[in-house]
Amino acid sequence: MSQVTVKFADGEESSYPAGVSCLEICRERKDSGEGIIAAAINGKESDLGTGILSDSELTFLDFSSEQGARIYRHSSSHILAQAVKRLFPGVRLGIGPAIEGGFYYDFEFEEPISAADLEKIEREMERIIGEKLPYRRRELSRGEALALFRQKGEPYKCELIAELPEDEPISIYEQGEFVDLCAGPHLVDTGRVGAIALTGLAGAYWRGSELNPMLQRIYGTSFPTAEQLTEHLNLLEEAKKRDHRRLGRELDLFSLHEEGPGFPFFHHNGMIIIEELLSFWREQHRRAGYEEIRTPLILNRSLWEQSGHWDHFRENMYFTRIDEQDYAVKPMNCPGAMLVYRSRMHSYRDLPRRIAELGLVHRHELSGTLQGLLRVRSFTQDDAHLFMTPDQIEAEVAAVIEMVDHFYRVFGFNYRVELSTRPEKAMGAVEVWERAEAILERVLQAKGLSYRINEGDGAFYGPKIDFHLEDCLGRSWQCSTVQLDFQMPEKFDLTYVGADGQKHRPVVIHRVIYGAIERFLALLIEHYGGAFPAWLAPQQAVVIPITEKQHGYAASVRSALSEASFRVYCDDRNEKVGYKIREAQLKKIPYMLIVGAREAENDQVALRHREEGDLGPRPLAEFIERLRRDIEEKK
């Protein structure tokens, strides 16, 4: 029998009979292999039952890896679908992917179910786990797969199959009586799922389009142990308390209206926070040598054709006609910056030229994907476009990375980094992309940053470095990005005069720090739970007189704080002091200044902090200095 050589992640190599399964190798090397979810054979995710037919590199995936957790939860979504099929035989299946922190499955029920039905579905899932049903993979021709799912009355599966290549086999997975269209891989059997819970029920249009039927989406999550599940569910409860939509209403920051779906309305308190964010942004960019511009909201179709957006991004754009010509509302700021650069001649001595814009952009997001401020149709992007000579690229990318790091440290975010490479639908030659990717990788290595490769997720004009920030609940959000572009300068015929007196093509870096201001605000609301630090808080302090006799002194305290440019108000309502303090706590105001007869006599305030509680009597001047320090240091 022929042998194959298998190389493992730790560098060891071993020989096995050809056709040996990953599971057999796993049990030999890792005892029972109970904690192993799947395998990667030469980088391709595979079931543990897959046989190895040639010399290969083999990596075992467990729940601690992102790949392993995704496979684990996708297997869990099949358990959900099987349970629903058992309880509601007439249901039609949609799709059931793993998502961050869990999974979902879309269904078309004969009669809509309610949240009360989730408990019995969950009990049936637990029975299926107890049955330890093996996940079995089969490959069918396109015709066989269509016949199978037509016979089962699954039109949505047939629709998906009809779009797959005719000459490639189609994989299905079976567990007991249940069968699903799926590329896999999966766990060995349903019994490998340790703890499972259903977390929600929502409506979702088939394939995200409002033109399609509305299905019901059941959300769930799963973990190897009950302890991990409990910890996760506790985090979900905390996340509900911090939901930016709820806190946005309670703190009077913004509102959403049916008259403008996806177009948020910002109230006075919300605008205070946004203006503070923008002020900080402008200060940091002035220091770093950026110039700020503003470009039009609507531009001619010819510009979007020139930039490539017409071919690569048209389905996400809004259009209008002016003077019998086609125009588009800008979905990105890039082309405007290119025109500003091209409006005058440049020498190599002018470069790098760093052009920044807080530009309002509009993108047509599907109604089913809109989510508070996290996914909107109109948002302000803190763009910048850096024009440079080729030998300046690495220094400029490094400087942007340092700026991103500074911003995130101010807000208390940790982050991880991804390098996203050439997508399938891309402009330009492969060799240009490879050069750009190599440059970004060198900078990341020189900065000592750990990163992972995100294959095929670059922008259509260039590779990028993405920063995924982590909030206080451990959730990950992609905000900042640094994109290296050799294509746009070519498209717009941008030039500079080099030291040799000849015209040369500049290179462009596209980058954002906040990303979308609206989305960043949503993240801050949830990260801080609405309790903004003093420099961002819409109201930084409230003065609370104990009796009517102190109204005059309270007014003078408020006036002194206002003259010092603090945001403060006086609560002189005819209510008990305890009531006013509780209300200030609910409004999450950082400081409460209680003033009675003693404080009025000694020019003091009885200081109370939102988290620290009662801090005792303090001279007013001392408090002013404390608050000024909080704001300057952005504590």
Residues with a known catalytic role: 334, 363, 381, 383, 385, 464, 510
Question: How many whole angstroms separate alpha carbon 597 and alpha carbon 556?
Answer: 14
- AA identity, residue 520: F
- Per the rule left: phi > 0, alpha: psi between -120 and 50, beta: everything else, 541 is beta
Closest CA relative to residue 459, chosen from 416, 432, 487, 422: 422
Closest CA relative to residue 226, chosen from 194, 253, 252: 194
Asked whether the beta carbons of 449 and 476 are under 8 A apart, the reply is: no
Question: How many whole angstroms separate alpha carbon 568 and alpha carbon 538?
Answer: 9
Dig out the tokens for 10 from the structure.
Answer: 């730790």
Most distant CA pair in the chain: distance in Å? Answer: 99
Rg (CA), the chain: 29
Please report which helix (H) or strand (E) contains residue 484, including its range. strand 476-485
- AA identity, residue 525: I
Asked whether the beta carbons of 103 and 96 are under 8 A apart, the reply is: yes
> Do the bridges between strand 102-108 and strand 92-93 make them parallel or antiparallel, or are there none, so unpaired?
antiparallel
Q: Where are the alpha helices (DSSP H) in 113-221?
A: 118-131, 142-151, 155-162
Cα-based torsion angle of the residue sequence 401, 404, 406, 411 in order, rounded to the nearest 10 degrees: -160
Positive or negative, the Cα torsion across 327, 330, 335, 339? positive
Give φ, ψ of 145 to 5 degrees: -65, -40
Asked whether the beta carbons of 467 and 404 are under 8 A apart, the reply is: yes
> Do the bridges between strand 195-205 and strand 214-223 make them parallel or antiparallel, or are there none, so unpaired?
antiparallel
- Per the rule left: phi > 0, alpha: psi between -120 and 50, beta: everything else, 222 is beta
What's 323-350 look like in SS3?
Answer: CCEEEEECCCCHHHHHHHHHCCCCEHHH
